[in-house]
Chains A and B, each alone.
Chain A
Amino acid sequence: GAVVSQHPSWVICKSGTSVKIECRSLDFQATTMFWYRQFPKQSLMLMATSNEGSKATYEQGVEKDKFLINHASLTLSTLTVTSAHPEDSSFYICSARDRAGQGNLVWDTEAFFGQGTRLTVV
């Protein structure tokens, strides 16, 4: 299957600093990538949809200025947590879906997830 690579896998930063997380589709192009946040023992909460060449679409309650998303190419999306605070500590994970097709039919494949980034803000 397709591979999505996320970096770094973990990061510890000081309160007030910014952290950038990268998500790359290694063997396919992804016009859309998704960023999730997962709290301990909880489900995946969609934060935003990253669209190549245009602005990201944020879910309700997610601060756009806090979580900056850039999708400058078909294989790379970045999430920057700006002015991080301890409450931003969490597991952030990206995903992308490839396109498949047969004849005139085109559909999205299953979601491929990055390895996730464990962010700890101290």
Chain B
Amino acid sequence: GQQVMQIPQYQHVQEGEDFTTYCNSSTTLSNIQWYKQRPGGHPVFLIQLVKSGEVKKQKRLTFQFGEAKKNSSLHITATQTTDVGTYFCADNGGSQGNLIFGKGTKLSVKP
């Protein structure tokens, strides 16, 4: 079935360092969504990418969608302790209208 691979599984950074998580699919993605789940919380939508090569920014977060629409990345510049949590990418191509989630990247930030 459809799968979305996400790496790394964990990332520990010093506050102020950058962070990147990557998602890859063997098949073309219709569009991709990114979510953030704080510790003990539920996933919250961050952004959706639709177009090939699309780049979107939200303050210190930069989201990219690959030219072939098979990969995507989330980059955080100068991490802060408020960035801690697990970041998930999700393929919006589930047969039931569901999202297919990557395994997530858990980010910890050391002050």
Interface residues of A, Cβ cutoff 8 Å to B = 1, 32, 34, 41-44, 46, 49, 57, 93, 95, 97, 108, 110-116
Give min CB distance, A107 to chain B, whole Å: 10
Inter-chain contacts of A42 with B (CB < 8 A)? 103-104
- Within 8 Å CB of A57, what residues of B? 96
Chain B residues with CB under 8 Å of A46's CB are: 94, 98, 100
Q: Inside 8 A of B48's CB, which chain A residues have their CB?
A: 110
Residues of chain B at interface, number, CB under 8 A: 22
Structural contact, A93 and B88, CB atoms closer than 8 A: no
Interface of A is mostly: strand
State whether A32 and B96 are in contact (beta carbons under 8 Å apart), knowing that A111-B45, A113-B43 are contacts in the complex. yes
A93 to B, closest residue via Cβ: B42
Q: Which residues of A contact B92 (CB under 8 A)?
A: 108
